Structure 1
Amino acid sequence: MALTDEAIDKIKGMIMSGELGPGARLPKEADLAERLGLSRNSLREAVRALSMIRVLDVRQGDGTYVTSLEPTLLLDALSFVVDFHRDDTVLQFLEVRRVLEPAAAAFAAERMLDDDIDKLQLILDDLGDDPTIEALVANDIEFHRQIAVGTGNTVLASLVEGLSGPTMRARIWRGLTQEGAAARTREQHQAIVDAISGREPDLARSWATVHIAGVEEWLRRVL
């Protein structure tokens, strides 16, 4: 394993130095192994590991290439990790959401385009008067995703989207068991939209904090 880690570090060093840029093709396995002073087996394992986290793209019959290295691509690994979370870690995911999403709302109030704010309002309006819990949760996830996208920060948007899945069951559970949860969610969403539309980042941050913390507080009580 140590030799594989060394191989990973050496390939990473080539990428970080700019010797291998996005889209670049790696030298042939034998040539690269000799150049880096590695066994071909260690190099092969390193390439396999880096392809799993979307740093390298192995194309059968063509060669191995550095990917685009775009944040959305690299952060796909996060969704793989969170898929294996245990129910008792959901509070930790909510804690991370409580850190990230208020910041996203504040950024959106400063940066989100007017047309995108109109689309955010349409997401709420399209929900209807008596949505199912499943529809409400799906709407909630899309609402927060659009805010994160509106920041213009692709890393932040990818993180927010990746953290949505692990808290979905808690959101549904809350909607089914806590009286007034659906109405409260809609009211808080509207307050967030109003703050973003009014270009008030501090107010948007505050409402987003109240919104996320409400789910977290409820879950702490019921667990």
Structure 2
Amino acid sequence: MRSVAADAEDKIKELIVEQALGPGDALPTETELMQRFGISRNSLREALKSLQAMHIVEIRRGFGTYVGTLSLEPMTEAIAFRTVVGHRRGQGSLLELLQLREALEAGLMHQLAGRLPDEDLRELDALVARMHKEVREDGEIAARTDRAFHRTLHRSLDNELLSELLDAFWNAFHRVRSEGLGKAADGEELADMHARIVDAVRDGAAEAAEAAVHRHFDDIRRRLSNP
């Protein structure tokens, strides 16, 4: 049987949708919500705290309650934790996460090939050059550079949800990788793989771009399978 607080969560979410509220918009006061839903203050606050953990609402002490950022960060945290736990138990959770990323990124190549703005292509070229520089000077590609590459590659799609979802997968995967799971990459080869993706996209060669993405993920799979 569902609790009063759980029902209140659903009603608050329905209220946000019905009133077309967005991040930062104010919600009714606690007293108004209690009267609207016919629940106690304790049940309401339990519901609000749960929604705050999911970034659906934001509680500002002394100011009120507002619609939260609605970000995917809670999902990222859950994915990363589930993946680490599964990997430590000998399950293939890290490879499963990798498969999700690969399916998304490879599937997007047909939308990107031959369609990236010159500005984005120049930025991708600069990021690949930075990768090579980081390998020469530091021995590896910085996580922030890799992240910037993938963000720039998909930026022209102008799909906020897609960008956030890809970013969530990237973030979760690299948090797990920071645990030292898997063999380190050959930095120069990894930079070259990114360059091949850019070249194929620039040439409008969708199938070659997709194949380059798959080769990149095949390399990651091999390293994860040989810690």
Shorter-chain TM-score bucket reads 0.7 to 0.9
Measured at CA, do residues 20 and 40 of structure 1 come closer, stay the same or move farther in structure 2, by a change above 3 Å? farther
SS at match of 1:142: helix
**Structure 1 equivalent of residue 54 of structure 2:** 53
SS at match of 2:136: coil
**Structure 2 equivalent of residue 39 of structure 1:** 40
Unaligned stretches of 5+ in structure 1? Answer: none
**Structure 2 equivalent of residue 174 of structure 1:** 183
Of 199, 211, 222 in structure 1, the residue corresponding to residue 204 of structure 2 is 199
Residues 142-195 of structure 1: CA deviation (Å, up to 9, x unaligned)? 32232233432222222222222443337985336xxxx334322221111012
Measured at CA, do residues 27 and 166 of structure 1 come closer, stay the same or move farther in structure 2, by a change above 3 Å? closer
Aligned residues: 213
**Structure 2 equivalent of residue 141 of structure 1:** 147
CA RMSD, Structure 1 to Structure 2 (Å): 2.7
Percent identity for Structure 1 against Structure 2: 27
Moved more, 35-44 or 6-15: 35-44
Measured at CA, do residues 148 and 34 of structure 1 come closer, stay the same or move farther in structure 2, by a change above 3 Å? same
Moved more, 77-86 or 164-173: 164-173
Q: Deviation of residue 138 (structure 1)?
A: 4.7
1:151 aligns with 2:165: no
Amino acid at match of 1:143: F
Unaligned stretches of 5+ in structure 2? Answer: 88-92
1:185 aligns with 2:190: yes
CA–CA distance in 1 between the matches of 2:76 and 2:172?
9
CA–CA distance in 1 between the matches of 2:143 and 2:16?
40
Q: Deviation of residue 104 (structure 1)?
A: 3.7
**Structure 2 equivalent of residue 101 of structure 1:** 105
Q: Deviation of residue 217 (structure 1)?
A: 3.7
Q: Deviation of residue 111 (structure 1)?
A: 4.7
TM-score (norm 2): 0.80
Amino acid at match of 1:21: L
- Superposed, 1:15-164 pairs within 5 Å as 15-17=16-18, 19=19, 21-22=21-22, 23-67=24-68, 69=70, 74-84=71-81, 85-86=83-84, 88=87, 89-109=93-113, 111-126=115-130, 127-128=132-133, 130-135=136-141, 138-164=144-170
CA–CA distance in 2 between the matches of 1:138 and 1:30?
45
Amino acid at match of 2:28: P
Measured at CA, do residues 24 and 183 of structure 1 come closer, stay the same or move farther in structure 2, by a change above 3 Å? closer
Measured at CA, do residues 182 and 135 of structure 1 come closer, stay the same or move farther in structure 2, by a change above 3 Å? closer
SS at match of 2:62: coil
Residues 68-111 of structure 1: CA deviation (Å, up to 9, x unaligned)? 64xxxx21223322442416132222111111221344433365
CA–CA distance in 1 between the matches of 2:127 and 2:97?
24
Amino acid at match of 2:212: W
